[in-house]
Amino acid sequence: MDIFPQSLKNHRVQLGADVENGEVHWEPIRSLWFSAMALGALVGGALTFSWSAFALFVVTTAFVLLCGHSLGMHRKLIHESFQCPKWLEYFLVYCGVLVGLCGPLGLLRTHDLRDYAQRQKACHDFFGHRRAPLVDAWWQLHCELRLRRPPEILVEARVAEDPVYRFLQKTWMLQQLPWALLFFAIGGWGWVFWGVCARVTAGVFGHWLIGHFAHRHGDQAHIVEGASVQGYNVPFAALLTMGECWHNNHHAFPGSARLGLYKGEWDPGWWMLLILQRIGLVWDLKTPADLPVREELRYVRAVPCVNAGCGQA
């Protein structure tokens, strides 16, 4: 049985290895980056609170999560679930860099390794968020997993050799600096703490928190047989995550641009794509009906799907 979806094979080549045995080690750069941002958010944000700074936090966080992480990094760069002009792709991915997780190449490699591991019959607890929340938070926010025999992650040349993506990968932390200077010039330190530190902290911490629940608890409409880690939907976070919380749907159809597949599953990322499609900026939006049938996918819920193809197996 081939348990690696064709939607990912079209992008990267992954050669099998051991994704079960390895050690978790403290990663200084990741840890210090998140700790500094969290400290600035908690201490600096508390000392400089204003309603204008808080509004800046809400607007900028929502914007980079929607346009950057959900559309740019995840649905476009990683899964190629829609097409758009190159300048728009660059803009969306740049917004994704501003979330503060890492650069585009680093995020792509991390995603592919995790995706590959979760679809094997067994994998390390790090990939499945199986440990208690405090342990998992420490692992995911401050550490890295060093596998004894990791798979080789080969990023396609279209991305790996792109000068814009290479530049963003090298400077992803520094990309916060121009915005910090602009916010300081307009609103002082309060705008810096809320518009940069709090935004990055919310994006990084929220990415872990939703990922933890989305691999442990929630609703399921599909089971990927043979996979050691299953996805779960987290309905309460639909708007906060721009639709990324429908993780069971995503595990089933990773190449779909639409993540909210069933009635009542709000998906702001999909709504934005429909708007962009209407004005001609995106096209070829993929849904489950457009994807190859997966023999290992089992449909386990008799709920009407809003798009044909959800109950394909």
pLDDT (tens digit, 9 = 90+) per residue, 160-192? 999 999 999 999 999 999 999 999 999 999 999
Regions of the chain short of the pLDDT cut 50: 1-11, 13, 313
pLDDT at 288: 94
Neighbours of 103 (CB within 10 A): 21
Instruction: Please state, in angstroms and rounded to a whole number, the distance separating the CA atoms of residues 167 and 165.
Output: 5
Question: Which residues, at least 6 apart from 157, have a Cβ–Cβ distance to it below 8 Å?
Answer: none
Could you tell me which of 200, 167, 164, 196 has the C-alpha nearest to residue 179?
A: 196
Burial (Cβ within 10 Å: 0-12, 13-18, ≥19) of residue 66: buried
Contacts of 175 (CB under 8 A, 6+ apart): 94, 97, 98, 168
Chain centre distance of CA 7: 16
CA–CA gap between residue 145 and residue 17 (Å, rounded): 15
- Identify whether the C-beta of residue 228 lies closer than 8 Å to the C-beta of residue 115: no
Q: Which residue has tokens 């995503």?
A: 250
* Amino acid (one-letter) located at 288: P
Predicted confidence at residue 9, as pLDDT, reads 46
Question: Residue 187: what pLDDT?
Answer: 97
Gap between the Cα atoms of 255 and 258, Å rounded: 9
State the pLDDT at residue 305. Answer: 63
Res 37: pLDDT: 98
Question: What DSSP element (H or E) covers 15?
Answer: strand 12-15
H helices of the chain, where? 6-9, 28-39, 45-47, 51-63, 86-97, 104-118, 125-128, 133-142, 157-160, 163-171, 176-192, 198-214, 247-252, 268-278
pLDDT of residue 10: 41
- Helices 51-63 & 176-192, crossing angle to 10 degrees? 150
Q: Residue 144 belongs to what H/E stretch?
A: strand 143-149
**Which pLDDT score is estimated for 269?**
97
**pLDDT at 233 (0 to 100):** 95
What region does 224 belong to: left with phi over 0, alpha with psi -120 to 50, or beta? Answer: beta
Amino acid 4: pLDDT = 45
